[in-house]
Amino acid sequence: MGSLRGISVAIFVVQALLASVTLVSAQGSTNGSRWQTLSGKAPSVIAHGGFSGIFADSSFGAYSLALLTSPPDVILWCDVQLTRDGAGICFPDLKLDNNSDVAIVYKNRQKTYLVNGVSTKGWFSIDFTLRELGNVILSQGVYSRTNKFDGNNYPIMTVQDTYAQLNPPRFWLNIQHDAFYTQHNLSMRSFVLSITRNRNVTIDYISSPEVAFLQNIAPSFRRSATNLVFRFLGQNDVEPSTNQTYGSLLKNITFIKTFAFGIIVPKSYIWPVDKDLYLLPSTSLVLDAHKEGLEVFASDFYNDVPFSFNYSYDPVAEYLQFIDNGEFSVDGMISDFPITPSAAIDCFAHLGRNASKQVDLLVISSNGASGDYPGCTDVAYSTAIQDGVDVIDCPVQMTMDGTPICLSSINLIDSTTVAQSEFSNLTTTIPQIMSGSGIFTFNLSWSGIKTLTPIIASPQSQYKLFRNPRFKNAGKFLTLSEFLTMASNASSLQGVLISIENAPFLLEQGFAITDAVLDALSKAGYGNKTDQKVMIQSSSSSVLMKFKSQTNYDLVYKVDEDIGGAQSSTIDDIKRFASAVVISKDSVFPETSAFITSATNVVPRLKAANLSVYVQTFSNEFTSQAWDFFSDPTVEINSFYLGGGINGVITDFPKTSNRYRRNRCLNRGNQIPGYMSPVQPGSLYQLITAPYLPPAEAPNPFLTEADVNEPPLPPVAAKAPSTSSNGTALAPTSPNGQPKVAASAIMQLLTVFLAISLLF
């Protein structure tokens, strides 16, 4: 059915995807630890409808991508539905309208049926012949995922077509609604027995949530290589043939063993969470099932659906919780994003805390471990150190009494409760620093700032993705001296990064920020310290020139806007005062509507000039990443390192980056598996058909000498009055009479640009 269209689409998709991923023909798990699965072998990866997190579920594109990004023994999952003429198709739901254009093609064919006793309206497979469904194309059924590939006209495929065209290593048929089809005089049993007797199709697993169906077919498979698996639904849902809840059936595992080889359970059956989405202790389900000789397959794994806060939005961490916890391992995981469990199993499981680094990638914190705790607090910094960061950072701000402190923003509203405090009346507007009003650190003394409560940053909160709410106000702020003392006592650190912004403004207001930093470093012993390096970062060349003239510290120039390239003369200028450069992710891989369109030459040109390149900011939330990275921060980091050639990452989740550089798949030379290969820029974008292409965006500008060159820093002025008569803080203008655009304002615009607002 639809074979000509299917084949033409297949050729196009496979050619495009082969360009984006390296396929290794025989690469299984190589770790030496014995798995705590029932068989003692590595857990299986089950691709739910293929790579349905990107392409339409059960489409050729989804199945193809799953094969290219998974181990060679991956299992392709097919939800079987029956047509009016008894043909079996791979389709994710009993109703067709959510995952196809059937409602457009046959707009008057909607029906209402009872499904498990519930009146359900829609377009059902039982109302269409296989020939009629040849006019229907698949579409992405999860509306929070991109629909940009729906124009590829993926046809609905029969079970036979799916097997013949994909030739999967292993094949899984899920029979979700046998009772419904029986009520309408269609026999799922007959179809299953027919397909398993077909010499051209090998079925490795058959699952169903209906006890009667599995009991009915079990005698036919007692001497077969096909394994029967009972699927548990929600604990309070009722199994139709026994009229018992699935929670009740779970208490009688011995009964399940009489007709099934294994069980599928939602992941919450194994690792439940409380009402606030924090993990509770694991249940004994896996161990109990293994004692009865039943394999356990965990379901409901999605990279793009929020899970427990314990995982810090890191899907690899979640998979490892199910396969590498020291007590048990599930036997397989069913995922819409099979690349992630593939890497978790083969590359990250059983590494241990002392695994050696496989690649030279510098991990620099962004306000400490600010993805887990309020930024620039003692707990954020200590967590970053514990998580294996190389360099912890301190964005230096000045208080009214001249104390240098570590704070993510000069505006206290961004990271504290100052707006709800006794200092809320100190709001001012300073265009030289930022657009809009704020309450600035230099408006309060250090003793006043210490009374404020920290607030965790949640940059993806517009998508309802909040960070660690249980600890959203944890920790205390530090002075620069306290920060340096903490760093000096951490033997695992390679160094510290001190960030200085708004220096000209602060100097003209009487705050000697550069001298304060130099004094704090000297008193902390960093003038003579050799075991930890000092990195001074700024988007102001005049700041770095001052430090170059007085110290031997490593100087890092921060490019505070997205760039598409840099003039040779500009790079030469940067080399005069810096040994490293910080650029944005978009300056490496430009995006359009969250799709990578190309790669710039910024990184290779800077590295050719012997400048190290660090990229910011790497976050774990899937909405912070391009679609190309499959909602997996590890895929993103890997692509920037192996594909982009960067020297280091600046991240608010240093644990993820530190674990990445220790994974065993990075030391295999040309045998790096597909799930650890970098994505090719534009490989997904080229699969978007013309009607779905997003509007073209203007290319990022080149970095010029004018962007870099600055006059020397002004001398420290006498302290100016804190506010003018109209309540706006006084601030000097630049030599041409116009206020200079502040770096903080540019960063705000950058954050908006990178947000995936169009597609979510």
Q: For the segment 472-495, what is each residue's pLDDT rounded down to a tens digit?
A: 999 999 999 999 999 999 999 999
What pLDDT, on the 0 to 100 scale, is given for residue 66?
98
Nearest to 548 by CA among 534, 569, 530: 534
- Are 507 and 716 in contact, with CB atoms under 8 Å apart? yes
Chain mean position to CA 620 = 5
Residue 689: CB atoms within 10 A of its CB come to 12
What pLDDT, on the 0 to 100 scale, is given for residue 260?
98
Return the H-helix or E-strand segment holding 80.
Answer: strand 75-82
What pLDDT, on the 0 to 100 scale, is given for residue 352?
84
- Are 563 and 702 in contact, with CB atoms under 8 Å apart? yes
3-state secondary structure of 735: coil
Write the pLDDT tens digit of every residue in 364-420. Answer: 999 999 999 999 999 999 999 999 999 999 999 999 999 999 999 999 999 999 999
- Are 287 and 253 in contact, with CB atoms under 8 Å apart? no
Buried (b) or exposed (e) across 22-31, using 16+ Cβ within 10 A?
bebeebebeb
What pLDDT, on the 0 to 100 scale, is given for residue 613?
98
Q: Which of the residues in the chain have pLDDT under 50?
A: 1-32, 723-760
What pLDDT, on the 0 to 100 scale, is given for residue 30?
44
What pLDDT, on the 0 to 100 scale, is given for residue 721?
57
For the four alpha carbons of 503, 504, 510 and 512, in that order, the dihedral sign comes to positive
What pLDDT, on the 0 to 100 scale, is given for residue 384?
98
Is the overall model pTM greater than 0.75, yes or no? yes
* Phi, psi angle pair for 330, to nearest 5°: -70, 165
Please give the structure tokens belonging to residue 14. Answer: 């496979």
Write the pLDDT tens digit of every residue in 44-67. Answer: 999 999 999 999 999 999 999 999
